[in-house]
Chains A and B, each alone.
Chain A
Amino acid sequence: MGALKSLEEVYHIIDANFLQFCASRGIFSVEDFLVHDVSMLMASADKLSNSDRLKQGINQLVLITETYHQPWMNGLMLLEDREQNKHYISTGSESFDVLLQGGLREGHVTELVGPSSSGKTQVCFQVASNVALKKGNVVFFDSGNSFSPTRIKQMVTHISGSEENKVNGGVEEAMRHIECHAVFDIYTLLDLLHQLKLNLKSQSQKKSTELIIIDSISSLIAPILGGSNAQGHALMVSLGYLLKDLSHQHNIAVLVTNHMVSGEGGSLKPALGESWRNIPHVQLQLSQHHTTTNIYGVYILRHPYMASGKSVNFMIP
């Protein structure tokens, strides 16, 4: 969309004359057109000499705008889409999967919150290893220099060892399915996600990306919030919607991690505040049980169709 002028080349009906007509009513872009009442425009076009041609132009514009919105879907179609395309991705821990009724859902943005060393990154690694072993692609955005290929190798070997698909080179193949990009500012992240979106559109069937991980999203967003800027907020929200859009359109599970900071009275709360809370579909809180074991606890803070408050323990090898 954008300026009406840009449509001039494609649609001959939108000519200089028509543009002038629009400009005289303060309409320069498609957005401007949308906020005007079409019947009023028609009526004012009637008064002019070349009314037919102008009306054709208006109709053309209406048609153009209609192709831009998402198609209407009813509940049945949504359910179908969900059952056919939105699969569960196993977290690799049985009890964790049971808690989530199958695992992370494609089409959902899942957020892990927890204090430092509560197992957030370890869960990310484990989910990634699991997906990669089943030949799904994983894109890992790392903002904390915490991506450790050595650890991934350990996990991949562990998982493939416990099942019987222990083939030589299986580890290498799985690890080739995980790709990592270091990201240190939000603009780079937005840029990369857009690029990813375009690539997914153009080569939809060739490679299936099943999982996007951003570890951690809060260290990118926290520096732009605060102070007195509304722009930071706008960027955060648009990042949120971009993630939701990606996950829904391309049937990808998105996994992000969020820090915890001390709130009032010393209790911990997620680092990104109320306005971010609405973005992730699922919010899970992690904690490490004893500092000396590899048993972790997970607790549902927020879920679209499950009661919050349930929790289980799981182990990371």
Chain B
Amino acid sequence: MEVLKSPLSASQKGKLISAGYTSINLLSSVSPSHLALELKISEAEALEILKTVSDGSRSESTSTSCTIVKGAQSAWDMLQEEETLVRITTSSSDFDNILGGGISCKEVTEIGGVPGIGKTQLGIQLAVNVQIPFDYGGLGGKAIYIDTEGSFMVERALQIAEACGDDMAEYSRLYRKGFHSHEVKIQPKDFLENIFYFRVCSYTEQIALINYLDKFITDHKDVKVVIIDSITFHFRQDFDDMALRTRLLGGMALKLMKLARKFGVAVVVLNQVTTKYSDGSFHLALALGDSWSHASTNRIILHWNGNERYAYIDKSPSLRSASAPYSVTGKGIRDSPSNNKRIKNI
């Protein structure tokens, strides 16, 4: 590999190239002191350079693994892995159906909709549902809730947690009579204990926190969902330099995807809507512009259809575009009462 493409600083690259080290293979047998002398830099810096480039050249040694590129996985192996993954239920079976069983781990799912459609409620519901234990078909994980708007309501979380606990008790009473004796009901308190709440007050904090999540999740391995409510808020105010905004959002999107992939967590990003001019008329569209629209793996739009709330899959590499009704009740997100089986595959 050429030195030009290595992750070194511009001046280091410049020094190496003018000393004749255009390719990093040439550096393999050079000692730090020799290099320091040659480039007229400190020995520590020379050591740094050699370390960086040896990281690059180590991977160049032909791998003996069966894949062509080291670290890659064949689609078949990934399929096997994916089929064992548990998804996070939304508590509405119609909604789950169009999602292929729920919100997928290892992916970034963006959910947007008009004010009052139930985005925050869905966020809280997911933070609770991720904790449903394995025995009940859940993940038994913990949740990170990042609140940028200040719209998180602890009382509502308590209410949803209570309802979820009740439903689980009901479930075990109906289907698992044998286990009844040693069944301990999960208390709402336990649910709330497992939601890590971060309040973010500026876009700087938002970027910092997303960078920091890598370390945080390493320390809290049982986190299985990260909810950001909403990604939009701070980026819609006080931003004059739109190109900078696009770059920062782009960088953030990559980091979120990396988190999802690396730790197998579901990343759920809530987004606001805005009006957009296209094809000669104004339409509602999710905010943050065209380049952001590529940032998520799945994109779901919550909208009104007649008198019902519907979830619509706007974009997904694996799911068919479809929509399903759901409703927001006192207990949280539930199936729409009026129609139990009316999913439209469009």
Least Cβ–Cβ distance between B121 and chain A, in angstroms: 26
A140 shortest CB reach to chain B, Å: 8
Asked if B108 and A145 make an inter-chain contact with CB atoms under 8 angstroms apart, the answer reads yes
Is A238 in contact with B68, judged by CB distance below 8 angstroms? no
Asked if B69 and A139 sit within 8 Å, CB to CB, the answer is: yes
> Are B299 and A3 in contact, CB atoms less than 8 angstroms apart?
no
**Which residues of B sit under 8 angstroms from A235, Cβ to Cβ?**
5
Bound CA–CA A139/B318 (angstroms):
19
Contact with A182, one of B67, B261, B294 (Cβ below 8 angstroms): B261
Which residue, B78, B293, B294, has most C-beta atoms of chain A within 10 A?
Answer: B294
Interface presence of A260 (CB below 8 A): yes
A11 within 8 A of partner (CB): no
B67 neighbours in A (Cβ, 8 Å): 179
Indicate with 1 or 0, residue by residue over B1-38, a CB within 8 angstroms of chain A CB atoms: 11011110010000000011111001000000000000
| Neighbour of A191 across the interface among B1, B244, B257, CB < 8 A | B1
Is B338 close to A, CB under 8 A? no
**A60: CB under 8 A from chain B?**
no
A313 within 8 Å of B (CB atoms): no
CA distance A235 to B261 in the complex (A): 25
Q: Is A105 an interface residue (CB 8 A)?
A: no
- Let me know if B339 is at the binding interface, CB within 8 A: no
Asked if residues A116 and B293 are in contact (CB atoms below 8 Å), the reply is yes
The one of B60, B244, B317 in contact with A122, judged by C-beta atoms closer than 8 angstroms, is B317
Does B247 lie within 8 Å of A226, measured CB to CB?
yes
Residues of A within 8 A of B23 (CB): 1-2
Interface residue total, chain B, C-beta cutoff 8 A: 65
Contact of A184 with B321 in the complex, beta carbons under 8 Å:
no
Q: Is A309 an interface residue (CB 8 A)?
A: no
- Among B82, B100, B254, B291, the residue within 8 A (CB) of A185 is B254
Count contacts between A and B, CB distance < 8 Å: 195
Residues of chain A contacted by B289 (CB below 8 angstroms): 261-262
Looking at A40-48, A74-82, A147-155, A278-286, the stretch in contact with chain B turns out to be A147-155
Q: Mark A176-203, 1 if CB is under 8 A from B, else 0.
A: 1111111011010011101110111011
B40 to chain A, nearest CB (A): 14
A203 to B62, CA, bound (A): 10
Give the contacts of B68-89 with A (CB-CB under 8 A): 68-76, 78-79, 82-83
Residue of A nearest to B291 (CB): A261
A149-B79, A198-B62, A223-B254 given as contacts; is B69 within 8 A of A179 (CB)? yes
Contacts of B4 on A, CB cut-off 8 Å? 234, 238
Main secondary structure of the interface of B (DSSP, over half): mixed
B-facing residues in A189-241 (Cβ within 8 Å): 190-192, 194-196, 198-200, 202-203, 207, 209, 216, 218-220, 222-223, 226-227, 231, 234-235, 238
B72 touches A150 (CB 8 A): no
- Residues on A with beta carbons closer than 8 Å to the beta carbon of B321: 291-292
Complex Cα gap A176–B244 (Å): 41
- B21 touching A259, Cβ below 8 Å: no
Q: Output the least CB separation between B245 and chain A (Å).
A: 11
Contact present for A216 and B78 (CB under 8 Å): no
Instruction: Find chain A residues with CB under 8 A from B59 CB.
Output: 191-192, 195
- The CA-CA distance from A303 to B83 in the complex, in Å, is 41
Q: 1/0 per residue B272-296: CB within 8 Å of A?
A: 0000011000000000011101110
Q: Using known A-B contacts A179-B75, A181-B72, A195-B69, determine if residue A223 contacts B247 with beta carbons closer than 8 Å.
A: yes
Q: Which residue of A lies closest to B106 (CB)?
A: A145
Contact of B107 with A by CB under 8 A? yes
Complex contact A149–B76 (CB within 8 A): yes
Taking CB atoms, residues of chain A closer than 8 Å to B74 are: 175-180
Is the C-beta of B315 less than 8 angstroms from some C-beta in chain A? yes
Q: Which residues of B contact A125 (CB under 8 A)?
A: 317
Given contacts A139-B72, A153-B79, A238-B5, contact A202 B62 (CB under 8 A): yes
Does chain A have a CB within 8 A of B54? no
13 A-B pairs with C-beta separation under 8 A: A4-B20, A31-B22, A132-B75, A149-B75, A175-B75, A177-B74, A191-B59, A195-B70, A196-B68, A198-B62, A222-B291, A226-B243, A231-B10
Q: A184-B254, A191-B56, A291-B321 are in contact. List 6 more A-B contacts (CB 8 A).
A: A115-B290, A143-B254, A143-B257, A150-B318, A219-B253, A238-B2
- Taking Cβ atoms with an 8 Å cutoff, the residues of B that contact A are 1-2, 4-7, 10, 19-23, 26, 56, 59-60, 62-63, 67-76, 78-79, 82-83, 100, 106-108, 243-244, 246-247, 250-251, 253-255, 257-258, 260-261, 277-278, 289-291, 293-295, 297, 299, 314-315, 317-318, 321, 346
The 6 closest A-B pairs by CB, nearest first: A3-B20, A29-B20, A148-B318, A116-B293, A149-B79, A175-B76
